[in-house]
A and B are shown apart, each in its own frame.
Chain A
């Protein structure tokens, strides 16, 4: 199975700006997940996405966040108006059929200034 690829690897944005984080390319997978990890802290679940719909989301995933699969392969996480506290590593993950866990991408380091 190919690795999960995320772009960009690092993004710096001004507070209040919109950012789009991408997880590409993914095909033939139905379950996707977004997680975030503030530096030195735990991995926090944001949202799960099944068959082009949100199946579960955490309390972190408020109206500022949205997920899409715009073209059938790319999987995006959008933060509409970034805040300083959104600075973190963001990981997408997939659940492989028959596996007993998730495969994580290499992550996007988001820095909000």
Chain B
């Protein structure tokens, strides 16, 4: 089974800081590399995704960086806000990482 490894497991950031979450994968045949955001009691929601022919994608405060040679992609949250506190999952091709619990302190 394809492996998707996500790190860190948890992350605490001060308001206004940068949150960085990483995902490493094995399969090279994924069509896209998404990140999902999940609040307690809710289903995962697609946050941002990137295709393998692009190295970076930015949507507002959220940026994906994609390193094809290293088989890694990361989520950067700029100017992190308390409302960003949630669990984040990378999820290429139906497989999800273990999740990162982000806490943004006011």
Chain A contact residues, CB within 8 Å of chain B? 33, 35, 41-45, 48, 56, 58-59, 89, 91, 93, 99-107
Contact = CB atoms under 8 A, between A and B. Distances in A.
Contacts of B94: 33, 45, 48, 56
B50 A100 contact: yes
B43 A104 contact: yes
Interface residues of B, number: 22
B43 A58 contact: no
A89 B39 CA distance: 13
Interface of B: 1, 31-32, 34, 36, 38, 42-46, 49-51, 89, 91, 94-99
A35 B94 CA distance: 9
Contacts of B1: 58-59
A97 to B, nearest CB: 13
Contacts of A101: 32, 34, 36, 46, 49, 91
A42 B98 contact: yes
A99 B45 CA distance: 13
B96 A44 contact: yes
Given A42-B89, A43-B89, A102 B46 contact: yes
Contact of B44 (A41, A43, A99): A43
Nearest to B49: A100
A104 B37 CA distance: 11
Contacts of B42: 106-107
Contacts of B32: 100-101
Contacts of A33: 94
Contacts of B44: 43, 91, 104
Nearest to A43: B96
Contacts of A104: 36, 43-45
Q: Which 6 A-B pairs have the closest CB atoms?
A: A100-B49, A101-B34, A104-B43, A101-B46, A100-B32, A43-B96
30 contacts: A33-B94, A41-B99, A42-B97, A42-B98, A43-B36, A43-B89, A43-B91, A43-B96, A43-B99, A44-B96, A45-B94, A45-B95, A56-B94, A89-B43, A99-B46, A100-B31, A100-B32, A100-B34, A100-B50, A100-B51, A101-B32, A102-B34, A102-B91, A103-B46, A104-B36, A104-B43, A104-B44, A104-B45, A106-B43, A107-B43
